[in-house]
Structure 1
Amino acid sequence: MTRLLITRPLPDSVMDAARARFDVTARDRTTPLSRDDMTASLRDFDAVLPTLGDLYSADIFAAVPQPRARLLANFGVGYNHIDVAAARAAGIAVTNTPGAVTDATADIALTLMLMSARRAGQGERLVRAGQWQGWHPTQMLGLHLTGKTVGIVGMGRIGQAIARRCHFGFGMAVAYASRSEKTLDFPATRHADAVALAPHVDFVVIAVPGGAATHHLIGARVFAAMRPHARLVNIARGDVVDEAALIAALQAGRIGGAGLDVYEFEPKVPEALIARDDVVLLPHLGTAALEVREDMGRMALANLVAFFDGAPLPNPV
């Protein structure tokens, strides 16, 4: 029977389905694999179901020149923690779970936009601290979403889902930065890059994939171009944003605030961000809904089953 390593605990329904089809070894820890864990996974298992934080870099594959593993069925749409070229060179296929995460991730983007614009986190802290002294006309005035302009950096599947929510739900104008013009079912204005986009929008929402090509894509030049009241929202990968530049922009009052679900050195969050009332911080909740995680698990298993049945992979990367 095919030996499968599942690197983190998954929902029970996913684990049951996996055990019905494979000889499963499942780690009970929620922390990423160590280097030794990763080399052992390639040496001792036919397939691995890894996820964010399991850093399968080129040197990991080099350390196991004749791997037993033939597939890394990643749990998640992002796969920048896996050196795909090195995996292929080692004869190991890589898959991911797109589609299942789109709506949930877009919902978190809107959550962050609303929380940042309407100062919801700050307001809840005020109430919980027993410091709220009652309603008055100038209490905690924030930014109204309706009628504003959202700027999407990366108009892929998730970016488009965010834009639709903004346009159809809040009557927002949509602008985006993308290498090519997109065919969309709503009006949108394209800009060449994030720097060109920034002066025209009230929210800059990052929805690009992670990886070397987008590392520090959002930095000092983008923050300098943003409007003073504009908010930055990141639901992509933490290192797409130059965190030091973001902190500097916030401290200088160059932008109006930020809403973050991911961090450059996750799970470490700088004290300079934690201390600020104009920053909303979530613990990477992008896909954290049971139905979504079950869908992701089933998609990962579908890739595994197809591979070992000799069928085309549903979601190769």
Structure 2
Amino acid sequence: MTHAVLRLLRERYAFDATPMFGDLGVYNVQFESMSDGVRVETRLREGALGGERIALIADSGCGKSSVISFVLGPMAEGVYPILVPVHSLMQDAASPERVADAVISQIARDIQFVVNDNSDALHASGSRREVTQSGGRLRKVAVRAPAGTLSAEVAEEIGRQITTTQQIELPEKIEVIYQGLLPLHEDALMPVFVFDDSDRWSAPEEEGIVKGFFTEAIRWMTDLPAAIVVAMHSQYLNSGRGGSELLAFLDTKIELPLLPAAAQLGRILLERARVHVENEGSLGAPPELTEIVTDSAIRVLFDQYDSGKSLRQVLQLTHHALAEATDAGAEALDDHHIVAAIRA
């Protein structure tokens, strides 16, 4: 039976290191449950509801997107997240005008989705979205329908406000966005601008983008009736890259802790497995973690994490090791499968 579970996990890309954003929240194991005294998820939720300007800080691949998806995804109530793809702006990410254009475009896409009644299909499925497909990969993930879904009436009202083009000046763009946010407040929803892809400017030649984005490009947003959540790479806070200057307009700082021990990494792997085994149904109750991944394998994986690999890299390693294990007809993922994946 456990070999069948391993095959299922491989087919479903259960340990995929880069799942779709909406699936990340389903997989999330809260940092608060893994580290004593940590209030990552609660603090982010409270800050978003309170309209705070938040920097969520960690290295790439360490869980920022998962936390954002969990706190501000389908389970969220009282908030309306607006995911702004700032990284796609490249050099223009340091321009307030271009960031404003990206915000307006994203709001327009969001409300068009509602006006076109695409949201009805999600709600019609009840509390489960059965299939997520990405890059040819078919995976089943269960999520709840969004709590902060707009009504068609509110979407149409926002649409009447978001009627600008790139030719107008920044103050007029800000006014357009401001007016577009008011119907959300009238519907008891706090708008939350989310910049989840602003931690990727790691090259030395991109330091100007980092400084421009954090000190100028989002400065105008701080006067809007909305919360702001920005994923920030921890290296941005090094003194050579501007340090605390980058936090001038982000007054709430939330840092993600490292996993304290191998047991917490095991919980993350088990949650990935549990979601897919439970969705399949035919395999019965999810097996214990040690029936899927041995303790020795988890220790080897945690050694990789402890030596500096990100959680994303460890998951990718687990996915490759899973292929080794299923090809060998193994009943469990063992340390020698991990070692083989490391050497590959």
TM-score band by shorter chain is 0.3 to 0.5
Compare the two structures and name the one with the higher helix fraction. 2
TM-score by length of 1: 0.32
TM-score by length of 2: 0.30
Greater relative contact order: 1 or 2 (C-alpha under 8 angstroms, separation 6 or more)? 2
